[in-house]
Chains A and B, each alone.
Chain A
Amino acid sequence: MVNLENYEEYMMMYADGELNEAETKALMDFVDANPELRKELEAYAATKLVPDTAMLYANKEQLMKTPPAGGRTIGMRTWWMYAAAAAVLLFAVTIFRQGNDTTESPVVATTDMPATNTQTTPTTIPVINNNKEKEATTEELHSNPTGPVNHENNLASSKSGAESRKLRDDSRKPKTIIEEKTAEEIKIAKEEKTVLAPQPVYKPEEAPAKELIAQQTEKPNSTEPIASAPTEEISNEPQKQKRRLLDILPISKQKREGASMIANAVTKRVEKVTDNFKDTDVTFKIGNKEIFVVKL
């Protein structure tokens, strides 16, 4: 309650604007009851300073900050976009080059060979006895644009894995292969199956090849089954390199093999347009269905 002991504090708080409505009313009632204190109240109220709004800080703009050059920021964004695009292109080129480094074209062999095999397999036994037809079939295989396949190595190219190295020497000596015993070839076929098992694309080829090997006699024309996977031996080392590079990719084994097949398929197609590759769009097709086109 306002009284003669504390009225001055109330007046100062009134000047400070710190009194609530009830306290203000109490103070006013007290002053009304003591009119001699009104001048003192007015004097306290007059001590309230009023800012001189005409006093301004000149050149506020000097205090303001400007953002860093916007163009530079955009430039960095553009740079990163180009960098990302370059990284994608580098990856794509790497895949292409990996495919180019190999002379194999397993996907092509898959797409092309089954037709040949399905035709030749049922007639394998009779064809085996027919040297001319067998040679024709082999030539047909070799004439198939499956990349820079070395014809000298075709005989041995059906082998894969560590065994293929041994057979590479054998391929230089066709007679040796002819003189190979069936048991050994069956062993090779088993190893082929083991090595190529993770590659589902080869399975259709291996099955007839294995059958042919199993049915193979000592006849010299029995090279046909061995040639059923003509690029395996040649592409052995590059494929290993490719596998190692592909292993770096954070993708599943199945996808990795798929990427390998696609890369090989692309390699095959690219080889067909080598002369004007720079000006050619690369179209990816499965069968007659166009998957996508790479605009170059």
Chain B
Amino acid sequence: MELKDYNNCVKEWADALFRFACKCTGNEEDARDVVQNSFEVLWQKRENVAPAKAKAFLFQVAYNQSVDNYRKQSRVSYKEEIDDNRSVIQGQSDLKRVLERALTKLDEQARALVLLKDYEGYNYEEIGQITGLNESQVKVYLHRARKVLKDYLVSVENVI
């Protein structure tokens, strides 16, 4: 990967990586750190990373930093209020707000799997490569998360 490819990656994937890290870590400050570290690692490893693989590489680093590291350090304090304050935009649908809340019910890994699936459209195999899980594990964990989200939506809908 050349310098030009790297800078293209910044333009192309910095926002998506930031959104992913923001949902994983629960706050923008940590998310910015994750993004900076991810691109720094990409720059250091650029000789070994093909441009076509750069996005997956970035998300792999970001996943490890925002999920594994934060989980090990027990620093994750995903507060509903944080997301509510940031993501509640005037005119935003109730469903989306409820879904943002539902996301806080997931652990870091399940949340990351759902984000990789829905935000980035990776298939089970690709998510497995990024997260280090096998395809079956991805499918099981993802379906558990999906069921949690569904149940929360149904429960809220019932309350409403």
A interface footprint on B14-37 (CB within 8 Å = 1, 0 otherwise): 111111001000000000100110
Tell me the bound Cα distance from A19 to B39 in angstroms.
34
Smallest CB-CB separation from B17: which chain A residue? A57
Smallest CB-CB separation from A9: which chain B residue? B143
A51 partner residues in chain B, CB cutoff 8 A: 16, 19, 118-119
Tell me the bound Cα distance from A294 to B143 in angstroms.
83
Tell me the bound Cα distance from A11 to B131 in angstroms.
24
CB of A69 to closest CB in B, whole Å: 13
B146 partner residues in chain A, CB cutoff 8 A: 12, 15-16, 44, 47
Are B142 and A46 within 8 A (Cβ)? no
Tell me the bound Cα distance from A9 to B150 in angstroms.
13
Tell me the bound Cα distance from A49 to B117 in angstroms.
9
CB of A31 to closest CB in B, whole Å: 15
Q: What is the interface size of chain A, counting residues whose CB is below 8 A from a CB of the partner?
A: 28
Q: Which of A60-68, A108-116, A229-237, A278-286 contacts B (4 or more CB under 8 A)?
A: A60-68
Please tell me if A18 contacts chain B, counting CB pairs below 8 Å.
Answer: yes
Are B22 and A65 within 8 A (Cβ)? no
Please tell me if B153 contacts chain A, counting CB pairs below 8 Å.
Answer: yes
Are A43 and B153 within 8 A (Cβ)? yes
Tell me the bound Cα distance from A46 to B98 in angstroms.
10
Given that A16-B142, A49-B103 are contacting pairs, would A56 and B18 also be in contact in the complex, using a CB cutoff of 8 Å? yes
* Chain B 85-108 residues near chain A, CB threshold 8 A: 86-87, 89, 95-96, 99, 102-103
Smallest CB-CB separation from B39: which chain A residue? A63
A22 partner residues in chain B, CB cutoff 8 A: none
Please tell me if B132 contacts chain A, counting CB pairs below 8 Å.
Answer: no
Interface centre among A40, A47, A52 (most CB of B within 10 A): A47
Please tell me if B70 contacts chain A, counting CB pairs below 8 Å.
Answer: no
* A57 partner, pick from B7, B14, B86, B157, beta carbons under 8 A: B14
Smallest CB-CB separation from A57: which chain B residue? B18
A49 partner residues in chain B, CB cutoff 8 A: 99, 103, 114-115, 118-119
Please tell me if B6 contacts chain A, counting CB pairs below 8 Å.
Answer: yes
Smallest CB-CB separation from B96: which chain A residue? A50
A272 partner residues in chain B, CB cutoff 8 A: none
Please tell me if B11 contacts chain A, counting CB pairs below 8 Å.
Answer: yes
* Chain B 45-83 residues near chain A, CB threshold 8 A: none
Are B3 and A60 within 8 A (Cβ)? no
B32 partner residues in chain A, CB cutoff 8 A: 57
* B147 partner, pick from A12, A16, A18, A56, beta carbons under 8 A: A12
Please tell me if B134 contacts chain A, counting CB pairs below 8 Å.
Answer: no
B114 partner residues in chain A, CB cutoff 8 A: 47, 49
B36 partner residues in chain A, CB cutoff 8 A: 63
* A40 partner, pick from B10, B118, B150, beta carbons under 8 A: B150
B153 partner residues in chain A, CB cutoff 8 A: 43, 46-47
Please tell me if A1 contacts chain B, counting CB pairs below 8 Å.
Answer: no
Given that A55-B22, A56-B18 are contacting pairs, would A17 and B121 also be in contact in the complex, using a CB cutoff of 8 Å? yes
Please tell me if A296 contacts chain B, counting CB pairs below 8 Å.
Answer: no
B18 partner residues in chain A, CB cutoff 8 A: 55-57
Tell me the bound Cα distance from A76 to B157 in angstroms.
70
Tell me the bound Cα distance from A44 to B118 in angstroms.
13
Given contacts A18-B124, A49-B99, A65-B43, 4 further A-B pairs with CB under 8 A are A47-B150, A60-B10, A65-B6, A65-B7
12 CB contacts below 8 A, A to B, read A15-B146, A16-B124, A16-B142, A17-B121, A44-B146, A46-B95, A47-B99, A47-B146, A47-B150, A49-B118, A57-B18, A60-B15
Closest A-B pairs by Cβ, 10 of them? A57-B18, A49-B118, A47-B149, A57-B14, A12-B143, A51-B119, A63-B10, A43-B150, A64-B7, A12-B146
A-to-B contact residues, CB < 8 Å: 8-9, 12, 15-18, 39-40, 43-44, 46-57, 60, 63-65, 67
